[in-house]
Structure 1
Amino acid sequence: MDRQLISAIAHRDHPIAAPITDANLDRLLRRAELPDGARILDLGCGEAAWSLRALELVPSAVADGVDLSPHALSAAERSAAARGLTDRLSLQLTPAADFPAADPYDLVLCVGSTHAFGGLKETMDAVSRFVRPGGLALVGEGFWERTPDPALAEAIGTFPDLAGTIAAAESGGWLTVYGHVSDLAEWDEYELSWTGTLARWAAANPGPDGEQAMAAMRQHRDMWLTGYRGVLGFVSLLLQRV
């Protein structure tokens, strides 16, 4: 099984694909105050939960979603059809970093996908190519709530604290106008959904694929429970281009 398929299965019951509740996702999108006819770009869109909800909130808006996973994009297509949004969402199977800049967007989303550009600062530099002057970016990124064990930092990656994360996001001509820091309950809901959905699928599919999925679930759960729970934070920043 490829990692993209494992991720797609694990996120079936939590398509937001981040430690954020539906209510807080709505709150972030409403604070964007998108105009009629808004153009939205979702980089690393996954199942496009963010852009689909934005389209529901602004009935005249249109969105482009970009992702590397055919499994996630197939799920996005099904969700768009079920919500009557197929004609307003265009999906492209391509690396986010390769998506060409064309007409500017009112809002660019990049939640949990800054690795596609090499980090947060590089992501904001890339997003600047897509957002109109005065437009918005909604970016979700990890940060260290407290100093991690060196082995954990090596396993997960390098993150600053919250102050450093906001500074990096603003370093290229952006201004933070709103944000949300995920709490522990949101993290637990996300992780228990991720691991639980994958465990249920693995149990229902005995054989090599099920064994591989179960092993991936156990490795992920151990890393969460004994490693980054309460240590790794997640912030969603609404930034305006200035």
Structure 2
Amino acid sequence: MDLPRSFTIRESSHRILNPFTPEKLATLGAAIKLRKGASVRDLCCGKGEMLATWARDHDIAGTGVDISTVFLAAARERAAELGVADQVTFVHGDAAVHVAAERVDVAACIGATWIGQGVAGTVALLERSLRPGGVMLIGEPFWRAEPPSQEAVEACHARSREDHETLPGLISLFDGLGYDVVEMVLADEDSWDRYRAAQWLNIRTWLDANPDDELAPEMRAELSADPLRYTRFERSLLGWGVFALMKR
């Protein structure tokens, strides 16, 4: 049980595996007013940057769950680097079926709502781990503008227009699920650039070092097409943010 190698190649230099800068991640932690000793559960935690930096900055305790052994190894290294290895734990497992043994103060899924087959299912999954009065964090893309064509939709990693909500549509969805939106921190074009453009250098660096690898043709094709696809469609059409929710 692991991620395909293409994911780890694409994300090799990243600590944050979504279009957030370290500053925005810090803003999120401050915005939800994390208290000392709060318990945080992060499903699809990636390289654990949120848990590790929040443990350092807010003295929280947390557990991250991810399917990638490569990402989890990086998460443990980062926790040790920041001196918080005794506060955070990283578990290899399927986040789609993970429920905390003891309910937590903050339950998060940042950019991986596919684990619940969409936002509603992921909210239901996280709810099973969240204490009454706790804060849920959902990271999710949304349409900034109406996609002009099916080509544009697919360039934004969607199969159909209905795969993503608009920002007001996403807020309405949370409301319909019985949750108040109490904070949000949104990516901007610069943070998108830092995330997506860095992937191109990661791929090129890997290709230069591994020209005969069986994945090389696939990664070469991605690098040849992705910068134009991103600048033509994704950069202007697709937004992304983390939304803090509290159940009514």
User: What is the TM-score when the length of structure 1 is the normalising length?
Assistant: 0.91
The verdict on how the C-alpha distance between 1:190 and 1:183 changes in structure 2, with shifts beyond 3 A counting, is same
Per the alignment, residue 195 of structure 2 pairs with: 190
Which residue in 2 is equivalent to 1:46? 46
User: Which runs of no fewer than 5 residues in structure 2 stay unpaired?
Assistant: none
Task: Give the Cα separation in 2 of the matches to 1:75 and 1:212.
Answer: 25
Aligned to 1:25: 25
Is contact 1:202-1:211 (8 Å) kept?
A: no
Give the conservation status (yes or no) of the 8 Å contact 2:43–2:109. yes
Q: Flag the 1:50–1:3 CA change in 2: closer, same or farther, 3 A.
A: same
SS, match of residue 229 in structure 1:
helix
Ranges in structure 1 where 5+ consecutive residues have no aligned partner: none
C-alpha distance in 2, partners of 1:98/1:10? 26
1:178-227 per-position Cα deviation (integer Å, ceiling 9, x unaligned): 11221111111111111112211221222124444333333443432333
Q: Out of 46-55 and 217-226, give the one that drifted further.
A: 217-226
2:242 corresponds to: 236
How many residue pairs were aligned? 240
Residue 210 of structure 2 corresponds to which residue in structure 1? 205
Return the letter of the residue paired with 1:49: E
**Deviations 1:2-27, CA, capped at 9 Å, x for gaps:** 96322223223322111111111101
- TM norm structure 2: 0.89
Q: Which residue of 2 aligns with 1:69?
A: 68
> C-alpha displacement at 1:129, in angstroms?
0.9
Q: Structure 1 residue 111 and structure 2 residue 117: aligned?
A: no
SS of the residue 2:64 aligns to: strand
Alignment of 1:5 onto 2:5 = yes
Structure 2 partner of 1:121: 120
CA distance in structure 2 between the aligned counterparts of 1:211 and 1:83, rounded to whole angstroms: 38
SS in 2 for 1:230: helix
Provide Cα deviations, 1:102-147, integer angstroms capped at 9, x if missing partner: 2111111211111111111211121111111111112110011111
Partner Cα distance (2:20, 2:74) in 1:
19
Question: Taking every aligned residue pair, what percent have the same amino acid on both sides?
Answer: 28
Does residue 216 (structure 1) correspond to residue 222 (structure 2)? The answer is yes
Residue 180 of structure 2, aligned match among 153, 175, 190: 175
Q: Residues 14-65 of structure 1, C-alpha deviation per residue, up to 9 Å, x if partnerless?
A: 2211111111110111112122221110111010111111111222x21111
